[in-house]
Structure 1
Amino acid sequence: MERPHGKCLDASEIVGVSDRGSRLVIYLRDRQIITAKLEKACSPRDFYLGFYVERSDDGKLCVDRDRLMSRAGARCRISKFNRLVTSNRDR
């Protein structure tokens, strides 16, 4: 189940990434799992091996602001973050 997440993530908290069909799955140090919807022309498969992001002044990765760069050369923005939850108590 997915619930809305804020517009930004602390980039230093990202420890892993994978793809889940139409979304990129981002694993954080605190065990949260965040899904990222990419802009329309982008495929999450291009980013499952990892990505780079140009460091912003605030150290965050934000929706509609920062551009991800895959190791394969793709460049995409995130259009939305959601948090994966397992039960009602995680809301």
Structure 2
Amino acid sequence: MKVILVYDINEKRVAKVLKICRKYLHWVQNSVFEGEISEAKLVKLKMELKKIINENEDSVIIYTFRSAWYTNRETMGVKKGGEELII
């Protein structure tokens, strides 16, 4: 499945969350990741994040797409991250 993950994490934990997300998805911008991931790996990603985040302070949003991307991504200004194409 295709995934877009965005987060708003306290500075104390953001480096750990960034490291976890980079194991599974492509970093495209500050606090934004996207990519293709299996359901099993998505479950593992969520479990790892749950161990790090503070649910009273932090926020993680995961958008999942079961088939093709239904959006077009347009970047204006500085391009960040390592992946240019939306899968």
Which band: TM-score by shorter chain? under 0.3
Q: Which of the pair has more CA radius of gyration?
A: 2
Q: Which has the higher contact order (CA 8 A, sep 6+)?
A: 2
- The TM-score, its normalising length taken from structure 1, stands at 0.25
